[in-house]
Amino acid sequence: MSTAETMMSQMTQKGGFIAALDQSGGSTPGALKQYGIPESDYSGESEMFARMHEMRVRIITAPSFTGEKVIGAILFERTMDGDVKGEPVPAYLWRERGVVPFVKIDKGLEAEADGVQLMKPMPGLDELLERAVKLGVYGTKERSTIRLPSESGIRAIVQQQFAVAEQVRKHGLVPILEPEVLIKSPDKKACEQLLHDYVLEELQKLPEDARIMLKVTIPEVPDLYDDIARDPRMVRVVALSGGYPLDQACEKLRHNHRMLASFSRALIGDLRHQMDDAQFDATLGRTIDEVYDASVHKV
């Protein structure tokens, strides 16, 4: 099989989860602070992203971070363009770790309107997608958010997600659509039902050979997205942790039978800069085991 076919086989069939290592500008200071690096330890955006790259490299080079349980990883654009051990990060992930690389493509969120936050315009998206293809990236991820059960707002979110996904697919990449329902929504259940209905409606309009993925908040109604996951155009439905602590996110995930994890904060929350390599890998390994178990073993 070609590399693309092997990656597709892994993403459609293999048990495991996707690591979300794509914190960008706005979330980076908080992620570094949690990791044990305060803002006083770096000066300016360049140094900040350099420290973040060091953290991500430490994660992906840790012995426990392999394709045995981590089947994919979502990278920030700067991470995709960076190196690890003298090799481009996407190539290292696949060749050395057996982990399928994705890249986050959105440029952040618009101000909330109609109960949702649409994605900002993405100038230069085609150039980014061309670069991703050359670097051996398999797919992309694009995030927007939903706070209120507004029919017009959620429909706008879904239509924008599918429009960007179409642009991604034209480059031969597999898009992950991420319309996140905020866990602090005053009516999360109603938001999720509307999101489900509109995603299913748009999914059924796609050609039979289309391949996309969906990343959503773990739903209040278990298995809400099972029919979407069964559609042959849907490679996988994955779950974001959304601010739930790791144990709660894993417990909720176990009740969703066709859903894998794609955690960010919950995955790296216990890692600290001050740990020696053995402590770091042991901590990461325990979290990987817990997330893998929740992705693979259901109740």
Q: Which residues are catalytic?
A: 178, 215
**CA atoms of 120 and 279, how far apart (whole Å):** 40
Q: What is the DSSP string of 107-161?
A: --BPPPBTTEEPBPP-TTHHHHHHHHHHTT--EEEEEEEE-S--HHHHHHHHHHH
Q: What is the DSSP string of 251-271?
A: HHHTT-TTEEE--SHHHHTT-
For residue 250, give every residue at least 6 positions away whose Cβ sits within 8 Å of its Cβ, in sequence order, or none.
261, 290, 291, 293, 294
Judge whether 215 and 240 are in contact, CB under 8 Å.
Answer: yes
Name the one residue in this structure whose structure tokens are 């996140």: 180
Instruction: Based on DSSP, count helices (H) and strands (E) in the chain, helices before strands.
Output: 12, 11
Amino acid code (one letter) for 75:
L
**CA atoms of 288 and 283, how far apart (whole Å):** 9
Name the one residue in this structure whose structure tokens are 């991420």: 178
**CA atoms of 242 and 89, how far apart (whole Å):** 26
